[in-house]
Amino acid sequence: MLACSERLGYAGLTKSAIRIVTPGGVERGFTVIVCRACRDPPCARACPEAALKVRQGGGILLDPSKCIGCGHCVEACDIGAIRLDPETNKPITCIYCGYCAEFCPHGVIALEEVG
């Protein structure tokens, strides 16, 4: 999360496209929520303004100028990998840069081609 925020030049947690939650406390372990770059992404289909384009190789690309901040994409993603940035009212989406993976000490996150 920190690396993802820092990629944009921010120190913080809430601009990250990654979320880490514990399903019932630390003792239950962690869930890392990150975009899996769907081949057929429901979020893109749910976008009424075509601001989310299907990306070659999987996942989506956001065109912020088209986005109206309706949040349909958030609803459409069952994984929970999209959230709205409360400051910009636009979705925070993964750009598949792999910067986070460089700082994951245990290889939990990796950047891979989607098969």
Partner 1 sequence: MGRDWIRTLSRVLYIDLAKKSYWVENREDLFEEWLGGIGVAVKLYEEEVPRGADPLGPENAIIFSVGPLTTIYPMASKTIAAFKSPLNNYFAESHAGGRSASAIRFAGYGAIVIRNASERPVYLIIEPERVRFRDAGALWGVRSAETVGRILREVTGGAGVRSILRIGGAGERLVRYASVMVETFRHFGRMGLGAVFGSKKLKAVVIIAGKNFRIPKLKEYREIHREIYELTRGPGTKKYHDLGTAANIISLNVIGALPTRNFSSGRFEGAEEISGEKLAETMLARRVACVACPVACIHLAAIREEYEDEKFLYKTEFISYDYEPIYALGSNLGISDRFGLFKMLKAVEDWGLDAISTGVALAWATEALERGIISENETLLHLRWGDWKTYVEAIKNIVTQPNEFYQALALGVEEAAKKYGGEEFALAFNRVEPAGYVTGPLYFISLAVGSRHSHLDSGAYSMDQKLFSKGEKLPAPEEAVEKIAEEEAWRQVLNSLVICLFARAIYTPDNICNALNALDYDFTQDALRELGWKIYLEKQRIKREEGFRPTELRLPERIFQTPTPLGKISKEYIQRALETFEKIIGNST
Binding site residues, partner 1, CB under 8 A: 2, 5-6, 9-15, 19-22, 24-27, 29-30, 86-87, 103, 105
What distance in Å separates the CA atoms of residue 28 and residue 90, rounded to the nearest whole number?
Answer: 32
Output the six-digit token pair for 68: 């109206």
Size of the chain, expressed as the number of residues it contains = 115
Closer to partner 1 by Cβ: residue 1 or 70? 1
Give the HSE-up count for residue 85: Cα atoms under 13 Å, Cβ half-sphere: 18
Q: How far is the CB of 8 from partner 1 (least distance, A)?
A: 8
Output the six-digit token pair for 35: 């975009």
Closer to partner 1 by Cβ: residue 27 or 78? 27
Q: How far is the CB of 81 from partner 1 (least distance, A)?
A: 13
